[in-house]
Amino acid sequence: MNYILGFLPDEESNYKIRKVIGEVGMVFDDFGIPVRWVKPQTYHVSLYYLGNNDSFIKRFFLKRKLSKIQFPSFDISLGNVKVGISRSYRELIYIDLKEGGEQLRELLLKVRKTLGGDDVSMFVPHLTIGRINKDLSDEERRNVIKDIGNISGKLNTGKIKFRVNAMYYIESKDGVYSLKMKFDALP
């Protein structure tokens, strides 16, 4: 099991994301590249990874600490579909954010300060839509990135926008997400 703090798109945005995946999927199908697509009920924007264990005491202290963090509601607007967020995650297929990234970075700093610890990982706000299931050659990777870039502007991902009114403590187990806690934004 894994635990994260994150944000969930509304139903309308979920529907639009599914349509985008349908279009993007054709690029990978054309190349014969297998992809594990994210299930629509698990679309989210991650803010902070909390590890792979949980307990009543950990949750109790987490709730006390995170309840002190105040943040305003804000909008997240999706950007372009991309492949390979970093060298460590070359297989990742994601949609970057056009709006809302700065608010997420500010909130992440508050969370890191409140929770302490030594997390200094690079933060790239995004919404994961899939993972490539094979090692691509350099040529295959270039071709996929080029084709995704060519269709990305036509997908109207910039029109996918949702309001963040809460941050969730999410448990992920075998591809099934459970919302364990909710931290509301300021009204």
Residue 79: what residue type? Answer: G
Question: What CA–CA distance (Å, rounded) separates 49 from 115?
Answer: 12
pTM of the model: 0.90
Most confident of 98-107, 111-120, 137-146: 98-107
For 8, residues 6+ apart whose C-beta sits below 8 A from its C-beta are 43, 44, 168
Q: What is the CATH number of domain 2-184?
A: 3.90.1140.10
pLDDT digits (tens, 9 = 90+) for 16-37: 999 999 999 999 998 899 999 9
Query: Domain-by-domain residue ranges, the chain?
Result: 2-184
- pLDDT, position 22: 93
Mean pLDDT of the region 127-133: 95
Q: Please state at what angle helix 138-152 crosses helix 11-31, rounded to 10 degrees.
A: 140
Give the number of other CB atoms < 10 A from CB of residue 6: 20
φ, ψ of residue 104 to 5 degrees: the values are -65, -40
| CA-angle at 110, arms to 108 and 111, nearest 5° | 65
Mean pLDDT of the region 139-154: 90
CA count, 13 A, side-chain hemisphere, 166: 12
Which of 46, 39, 36 is CA-nearest to residue 14?
A: 39
pLDDT above 80 for 87:
no
Residue 98: what residue type? Answer: K
pLDDT above 80 for 120:
no
